[in-house]
Every structure is written in structure tokens, then in C-alpha cells.
Chains A and B, each alone.
Chain A
Amino acid sequence: AQTVTQSQPEMSVQEAETVTLSCTYDTSENNYYLFWYKQPPSRQMILVIRQEAYKQQNATENRFSVNFQKAAKSFSLKISDSQLGDTAMYFCAFMNVGDKIIFGKGTRLHILP
């Protein structure tokens, strides 16, 4: 069965610093998708970034980028120049083509002023 592991339950960094959230997953499939979602205190989950497994190039969305290591089954999220509004719960997620999405247990990120 596919699993997603986020080894950091909670992290705190100072505003403007760079932070990296870890995620590993387990699958025997070759074609799949990976996502990072953010859940601020308002509760609404928002897609931060996504990556197709067949693409070697790491996805980037403004201050957010990923380090996708397919062989190592690792998918970390880097947030550059962190802002107070980045404070949230971050979920890594995995989805096989045509299958259900599986979430990690999340990393609670605090950006400190």
C-alpha cells in the first residue's frame, strides 16, 4: 500500500528565513502525482505546488519549490523568504493515476516575527 510520511510534526522559523519540509512516500508505481497542500487556521486546504513523477524538473511556484528525488522517493518543499502568512499546517500528498489521494499526517509550520 502507498504511504506518505512527514517526519517533522512541527517546525518554527523566523520570518524571511528559508525552511524545508520533508516528505517521503512509498509506492511500486512509476506514474503518479505529488502535491503539497497548505491548511491555514481558516481550515481551508489550498494547493501549494504539484509535481508529475515523469517530469525530472522540480516544480516551482514563486517562493515555493520542491526537491523531487524519484529514486529516493522523496518530495521536500522549500519555502524561501518565509512570511507570517505562511504559518499553517502543510500536507504532502501522493496520488496514483486514477486512484485516491493519500495525505501525510502534516507538518505544523510557525513563522515567527
Chain B
Amino acid sequence: KAGVTQTPRYLIKTRGQQVTLSCSPISGHRSVSWYQQTPGQGLQFLFEYFSETQRNKGNFPGRFSGRQFSNSRSEMNVSTLELGDSALYLCASSPGQGNSPLHFGNGTRLTVT
């Protein structure tokens, strides 16, 4: 089975712009979750989607949004980028039940200048 695929791997944007990141989960996985990883804050949960519905949400401002499509692929959007949004954004998929483990992608490294 193919793993979780995130595109692009690297991205450089300017303050004020917006960006869309993509995540393709493992085939058959219905849950996709997103995380922001920075050296200072560690790994922070953004949100989780299950069957196209947001199931859980972290404590991030409304500039961060996401969606999930019927094929379980997910996108994350960040509008009005700030310097502090520079981070590694990780996506993970799972079947979505119980303690099923998360399978992570390689992440998208976003740099905001």
C-alpha cells in the first residue's frame, strides 16, 4: 500500500499570502489529521477530518482551515500568512476507529518571508 503523501514538500511564501497544502491518505483510511511542528512549540494538533466532516479541532486561529473530499484526500489552507506560520506541517491518516495508529506523511516545510 502506498503511504501518506503530502505535497508539496517545500514551500516559500510571503507574508499576507495564502497557501494550500495537500494530503493523500493511505487507501481505505477515512481519518486525516493535521499538525504543525515548530522547534519551540513541538507538535500541535490543527484539526481532524473523518468522512468529510471535521471531527476535532485544535486551538488555532480561523486563518487555518481544512477540508476533506469524498476520496478522503484532505487540504489545509492558511490565509494571510504570518512569519510565525513557518513550520513543518504534518498530515496523518488512520482508519479512524479506537486507538488505530496514525500513519504520517513526510510533511510540507513552509517558510514565510
Contacts and interface: CB of A to CB of B under 8 A. Distances in A.
Interface of A: 33, 35, 37, 42-47, 50, 52, 91, 95, 97, 99-106
Nearest to B57: A100
Contact of B107 (A35, A43, A106): A43
Contacts of B43: 91, 103, 106
Interface stretch (B13-21, B79-87, B97-105): B97-105
A31 to B, nearest CB: 10
Contact of A47 (B45, B98, B101): B101
A54 B41 CA distance: 30
The listed residue with most A CB atoms (<10 A of its CB), out of B43, B90, B98, B104, is: B43
20 contacts: A35-B101, A44-B105, A44-B107, A45-B90, A47-B101, A47-B103, A50-B99, A50-B101, A91-B43, A97-B98, A99-B56, A100-B48, A100-B56, A100-B58, A101-B33, A103-B35, A103-B43, A105-B41, A106-B42, A106-B43
Contact of A42 (B33, B35, B90, B106): B106
Interface in B8-53: 33, 35, 41-45, 48
Interface of B: 33, 35, 41-45, 48, 56-58, 88, 90, 92, 98-99, 101-107
B94 to A, nearest CB: 10
A47 B106 contact: no
Q: Is the interface of B mostly helix, strand, loop or mixed?
A: strand
Contacts of A42: 106
Contacts of B103: 47
A105 B103 CA distance: 19
A97 to B, nearest CB: 8
A102 B45 CA distance: 7
B106 A44 contact: yes
Nearest to B101: A47
B34 to A, nearest CB: 11
Contacts of B102: 37, 45, 47, 101
B33 A43 contact: no
